[in-house]
Structure 1
Amino acid sequence: MNQENQDLILQACGASSLRVGAKIQTLWSGYGEIVRLHLDGCDRPSVVVKHVKFPEEAEHPGGWNTDRSHRRKVTSYQVETHWYQNYSTNQNCRIPACLAACSHGDEMLIVLEDLDVAGYDQRRTSVKDGEIRACLRWLAHFHALFLGAAPEGLWPVGTYWHLETRPDELEAMDDAKLKAAAGDIDRILNECRFKTVVHGDAKLANFCFSPSGQDVAAVDFQYVGGGCGMKDVVYLLGSCMNEKECERRAQGLLDFYFTELKLAVKQDVDFAALEKEWREMFVFAWTDFHRFLLGWMPGSWKINRYSKQLTKEVLHKLKPEPENSSTRQKSKRVAKR
């Protein structure tokens, strides 16, 4: 880390010195890294720094290292920086505080509160029912907080798999029926009456748990933006349950989400209408992500019987109703006039 960046961090934290600790992770496709820095001379023992450095040649695990992919990633880091600098939440949907951020040339730096120090030091690769509910509670409060808010400075339509940003993956799909319906599914989701700000990448790996597992905080806001809250819900559920678990538990967990959402919504809103619309959008949101996976990673474990069944339901809903005999007779009479 160069001296300019070190000075920025020291000044932002009021620290006298710092030392680089463990690398937490490498960013997707080699676009930098997330590291923990240990501080001296201030009341913060450590901070987490997201250091983005655009590579001369990206190495995408799935081979999607195109100019379009690069531009999408660049925009995502700009959006994330804007998010941390301009948006805040509350204790019910906890995120790390942003202490400093800067960009110059092909580098970006975001200095964040260390959530481990704040009591969210647990990570999960699998979860029990109570831990899934903790994540759903976080999403419910997050969606309630931003219900009806314009996603200023964020993605107009959130989520990293949004159709408009993924034409290459759409083209790669083999499922002709779903490919043909992709635009209609996207339109239906985008034309929701009730919109909020969605996290956009609400998978299990982006939640930090308290030791009890009952409280969570969320990280990684590269694809935060406008949209229907069901997009986050289906992505979370699909990230931590297999097809049998989804078949058995998804509806009960969806009920829990709406119970929490109703408690969290503070503004005057027709909640019955909101719940009705978003429940209808559940299958569309799930199918929308399934569409992305079929083009992006057709061998994914998430492409399962449950996803295929929901997709079948959506395609059936989108089929035009066949004309009955009375409708045809009426059409003929109108034509004769």
Structure 2
Amino acid sequence: MNTEDFIIDRLSCETVQRLETVQTLWSDYGDIVRYKLTGTSCPATVIAKSISPPSVSSHPRGWNTLQSHNRKLRSYEVEANWYRDWASQCPHGAPVPECFGILDSKPADLSSRRETDNTMILLLCDLDAAGFMVRKNSLTIAQSKVCISWLAHFHAKFMQDAPSSEWPQGLWSVGTYWHLATRGDEFDAMADSRLKRAAEQIDRVLNSCRFKTLVHGDAKVANFCFSPDGDRVAAVDFQYVGGGCGMKDLVYFIGSCLTEEQCCQHFEELLDHYFLTLESALHELNSAIKFENIEFEWRPLFQVAWADFQRFILGWSPEHKKNNQFSRQITNLAIESLSIHQSPDI
């Protein structure tokens, strides 16, 4: 079934018109398209995220391995599960797109797929029409706090005290796209360093924390959509949502939207804002989990989570601007906090 037929089938609209491609998916695995609809009981516009893996994969930085391909396919399955089973639970303080339907039509043999076929379609509400039409590439500290508040409300809603190994069902057992177990290619590419030798311990410390929540997994500024006044945001792109420590979302977000100087000057202020909002959000939810215990465990993991992402950067793209002096300093502090005493270089 093509996208237009699927939209008509799900929303009972009279006509469907392709308006624009919002963006193509990473490594040409599909696209995100806005459609205009007509009808008495359907929205005026919708967004279709269509996943259609290429017969020959490519990657802008050369990471087109089988492991990379399988990770991407799994990520789209996770995103479908997220919208099907989890997204409706999000609180008012952490809005996400409404999902109108999911078409999963993977053929047993991808080589038999026609070019016009989609492997999967996620039919979502148009956040522009819902009042979140502003996109940003960089943020002020005040704007950053709006997104951090979204993260805190999101984390509060899905907070768990020592969850079972089966949680969260259908999602990544360990969220974030840079999770060590899924990034063997990049890890192998790293030069020998204290950080590489500490990577497994860093990963183990983060994964063994008592308090876990759902982490967005790709909480960069590009995945937040702002209201015109900038007071509210909604988040998109849940391919890497899964269990974990909320500090992983926070460090990745801060690094995605602030300069090195801003990070250095304001990270403690932003960390404090996160925990203040998390405490308030847990109170609003009447959570039985004590905030003080979460903060006691998670606050020291901020540096550890930063080092975890720095490990990915040094394997994936060591020349990236995120490999800066501030990140190296935070990483050194994390290694020292774990009592790892090895050679002084990172």
Q: Structures share a fold, TM > 0.5?
A: yes
User: Does the alignment pair 1:310 with 2:330?
Assistant: yes
Contact 2:198-2:340 within 8 A present in 1 as well: no
Structure 1 residue 4: deviation in Å?
A: 4.2
| Structure 1 counterpart of 2:68 | 69
Asked whether 1:319 is paired with 2:339, we answer: yes
Match of 2:304 among 280, 284, 307: 284
Q: Write the letter of the residue equivalent to 1:7.
A: D
| Aligned partner of residue 33 in structure 2, secondary structure | strand
* Alpha-carbon displacement from aligned partner over 1:128-155 (angstroms, at most 9, x marks no partner): 2221111001000000000016311000
Over the residues paired in the alignment, what is the CA RMSD in angstroms? 1.4
- Residue equivalent to 2:128: 116
**Alpha-carbon contact 2:23-2:32 (below 8 Å) kept:** yes
Residue pair 1:173, 1:294 contacting (<8 A) in 2 also: yes
Partner of 2:104: 103
Gaps of 5+ in 2: 111-118, 342-346
Give the superposition deviation at 1:43. Answer: 3.8
Other structure's SS at 1:295 match: helix
1:48 partner letter = I
Q: Contact between 2:206 and 2:304, CA under 8 Å: does it hold in 1?
A: yes
Counterparts of residues 16-55 of structure 1 (less than 5 Å): 16-41=14-39, 42-55=41-54
Larger Rg: 1
Match of residue 203, structure 1, among 215, 220, 223: 220
Offset from partner CA, 1:214-252 (integer Å, 9 cap, x none): 100000000000000000000000001121111100000
Q: Is structure 2 residue 137 aligned with structure 1 residue 125?
A: yes
Aligned to 2:242: 225
**TM-score scaled by length of structure 1:** 0.92
Aligned to 1:94: 95
Q: Which amino acid aligns with 1:305?
A: Q
CA contact (8 A) 1:134 1:214 kept: yes
CA–CA distance in 1 between the matches of 2:150 and 2:32?
23
Q: Any idea what the Cα deviations from partners look like across 1:105-150, whole Å, max 9, x if unmatched?
A: 2511000000000000000011122211110010000000000163
Residue from 304, 309, 317 that aligns with 1:297: 317
The match for 2:178 among 155, 161, 164 is: 161
Runs (4 or more) in structure 1 with deviation over 4 Å come to: none
Name the CA distance, whole Å, in 2 between partners of 1:100 and 1:318: 46
Contact 2:78 2:171 in 1 (8 A): yes
Instruction: Report if aligned partners of 2:304, 2:335 keep a CA contact under 8 Å in 1.
Output: no
Q: How many residues align?
A: 320
Identical-pair percentage: 48
Q: Which residue of 1 aligns with 2:233?
A: 216
Query: Per-residue CA shift, 1:243-273, capped at 9, x if unaligned?
Result: 1111100000110110000000131112112
Contact 1:242–1:302, Cα closer than 8 Å, also in 2: no
**Matched residue type, 2:65:** T
Q: Distance in 2 between matches of 1:103 and 1:112?
A: 15
267-276 vs 194-203, which moves further:
267-276
- Give the match for residue 5 of structure 2: 7
